Amino acid sequence: MSAPILAVEALSMRFGGLVAVDRLSFEAARGEITAIIGPNGAGKTTVFNCLTGFYRPTGGSITVTHPDGARFRLERLPQHRIARDARIARTFQNIRLFGGMTVLENLMVAQHNRLMREGARLPLALLGFGPYMRREAEAIDRARFWLDRTGLAARADDAAASLPYGAQRRLEIARAMCTEPQLLCLDEPAAGLNPRESEELNALLRFIQGHGADGNGCSILLIEHDMSVVMAISDHIIVLDYGRKIADGAPAAIREDPKVIAAYLGVEEEEALAVDAALHGE
């Protein structure tokens, strides 16, 4: 079996005295959809922020291995190289689009690094001709492909901020895919979606898993509260509580795990009463 796309080892993140993530280790297999679940405040988004360079971890290592064998130690990379070279893209829990730019422009910004590599530095590009213009046309085609996949083609020339909520979520995913990632990190993509939109999202994620940016597939790491989404599409689930991993396995196993049921789905009512009674010296 090939090396996992993502290997996290003993990852710790402390904010002063607060330990948000405590020696967390897990792997995300290539081509799979891995979900991270856990109660509010379990440290899921902190893990994402460490992965994507918004936080510098206090300890541990994060290794990304590409299909060609190239390895990246994310905790040492400058942030812009995490997206550019390690090819990790992310979305945000509270949607972050370039609201005053059009849907198409959002997708063009996502291809910034590719376009700069491919001749945008030439003075000719500034004047509006030369080989760069073909690259730009290709970038527009790539954007159009993801607009079609996310059902946004008709809104391509509208301001991103003017889209309805569900469409903004899809646009954020399309924008992340335009960076041509190897690993796509989604922070609660189904939050605020109605059941039909949620179903469409599942289909979109399966497509991304199989097709990826270039037809070779893409691994997905997912934070999600909506259990219907998690159970339906995940290949592998990691459960966090208070910054530690409490379970790790296939969806069916997680569903049955008593520790998960206690931590995430809440302890049984009788049990809770018993704990309460014990605490009050009964």
Partner 1 sequence: MARTAGLLHSVKDAGLAALVALGVGAPLLGLKTEAADRGLTLVPRPGLLLAAVAAVFAGRLLFGLFLASRQAAAARAADAPPRIGPSPYARIGRMVAPVLLTLSVLLPFIPGVGRYEIDLGTLVLTYIMLGWGLNIVVGLAGLLDLGYVAFYAVGAYGYALLAKFFDLSFWAALPLSGLFAAAWGIILGFPVLRLRGDYLAIVTLAFGEIIRVVLLNWTTLTGGPNGMSGIPRPTFFGLPFSMAGGEGTFAGFFGLEPSPLHRIIFLYYLILALALLTNFVTIRLRRHPIGRAWEALREDEVAARALGLSVVSVKLTAFATGAMFGGFAGAFFATRQGFISPESFTFVESALILAIVVLGGMGSQLGVAVAATLMIGGFEVFRGLDEYRMLVFGLAMVAIMVWRPRGLVSSREPSVSLGARRSIGAEHVAEGRG
Neighbours of 175 (CB within 10 A): 25
Provide the minimum distance between the beta carbon of 135 and partner 1 in the complex, in angstroms, as a whole number. 10
Sheet holding 71-73, edge to edge: 18-28, 6-15, 59-65, 71-73
For residue 117, the minimal CB distance to partner 1 (Å) is 10
Structure tokens given for 254: 């997680």
- By CB atoms closer than 10 A (0-12, 13-18, 19+), residue 189 is buried
Q: Whose Cβ is closer to partner 1: residue 142's or residue 236's? A: 142
Q: Reading across the β-sheet that carries 236-241, which strands appear in turn?
A: 88-90, 183-187, 219-223, 33-37, 236-241, 244-249
Instruction: Output the smallest distance, CB 73 to partner 1, in A.
Output: 17
- Enumerate the β-bridge partners of residue 248: 238
User: Hey, which bits of the chain come out as E strands?
Assistant: 6-15, 18-28, 33-37, 59-65, 71-73, 88-90, 183-187, 219-223, 236-241, 244-249
**C-beta closer to partner 1: residue 53 or 264:** 53
* Closer residue to partner 1 (CB): 105 or 200: 105
Nearer to partner 1, 213 or 254 (CB): 213
Contacts with partner 1, residue ranges (CB under 8 A): 52-54, 78-84, 89-90, 92, 96-102, 104-105, 108-113, 115-116, 120, 125-128, 140, 144, 153, 156-162, 175-176, 179
Shortest distance in whole angstroms from residue 90 CB to partner 1: 5
Min separation Cβ 215 and partner 1, Å: 21
Q: How far is the CB of 275 from partner 1 (least distance, A)?
A: 40
| 153: phi then psi, degrees, rounded to nearest 5 | -55, -35
Angle, CA 237 vertex, CA 228 and CA 95 arms, to 5°: 60
Of 17 and 128, the one with the shorter C-beta distance to partner 1 is 128
Q: Least distance from C-beta 80 to partner 1, angstroms?
A: 4
DSSP strand pairing (183-187 vs 88-90): parallel
- Quick one: which of 32, 3, 23, 31 has its CA closest to 215? 31
* Rounded Cα distance, 183 and 86, in Å: 9
Is the CB of 98 or the CB of 242 nearer to partner 1?
98
Q: Which residue, 77 or 239, has its beta carbon nearer to partner 1?
A: 77
